[in-house]
Amino acid sequence: MNPLNSLAAFLQKPSCEFTKQDIISFVEEKEIRMVNFMYPANDGRLKTLNFVVSDNVYLDTILTCGERVDGSSLFPFIEAGSSDLYVVPRFRTAFVDPFAEIPTLCLLCSYFNKDGELLSSSPEYTLHKANRAFTEVTGMTLEAMGELEYYVIGDEEGTFMATDQRGYHESGPFAKHSRFRAHCMHLIAQAGGLIKYGHSEVGNFTLDGKIYEQNEIEFLPTAVEDAADQLVIAKWIIRNLAYEYGLHVTFAPKITTGKAGSGLHIHMRIMKDG
């Protein structure tokens, strides 16, 4: 159980055991006023649907049935004439929004078609099917962990300049955004992310009055579907926190020639009987 996750701490159970009633109890006890459904679209970014928690009947309804969305506006392969999709929350992904002024609970969602079937072409369900098939054939489980690399871009300060392309494991004051990375890690952990460590990476250069500083946050191995959820939430948190700090971040694999690119290394391990 992740003790930094406020839901896990309140419910005294791991997130994989969260139920609908657990979510309702947390909303009541913590006076949560809004619920956000979140789901990645074709561009890889999380989309958000906001709900005001008016009463428990309405809360129970949306947690059970989800809500309709326009699939043609989310995925280019879905025709406008048959675009009805439904987003239904996965309770294990629930976390408190660290950026909301109004107490808000966020949940990642799965896509369903109008017939109530999981959308076969959604990335989340594709991973789910592959994971299920692997376990059925081998009797083993698949775990994964990601290494999330990104550049933080801020104004050049002119003091304690890091050596070009020698930023690996650099400390402050030569690394300018260590506090930002630590804050990101703390919020990701609160949202349920299992983090191994974080550090500055090789890429570090200045260009046109801006400092480009590469960072990495590495996760611990966990169930492969949870690992994917962690990465999606982590990128959302890093972007939002950068906005609050007045910084820019990019996860692009290559932002200029001659400088270190950012990878998203995925490590996997096969488990049997724990």
pLDDT tens, residue by residue, 111-167: 999 889 999 889 899 999 999 999 999 999 999 999 999 999 999 988 998 899 999
Q: Rg of the chain's alpha carbons, rounded to an integer?
A: 20
Tell me the domains of the chain and their CATH numbers. 6-121 (3.10.20.70), 141-271 (3.30.590.10)
Rounded to two decimals, the pTM is 0.94
Mean pLDDT of 27-36: 97
Which are the contacts of 112, defined by CB distance < 8 A and separation ≥ 6?
A: 66, 85, 86, 87, 88, 118, 119
pLDDT score for 162: 86
CB atoms within 10 A of CB 98: 17
Q: Which of 12, 165, 19 is nearest to 92 (CA)?
A: 19
pLDDT score for 173: 94
Tokens of 133: 């098939």
Q: Which of 42, 44, 49, 112 is nearest to 73 (CA)?
A: 42
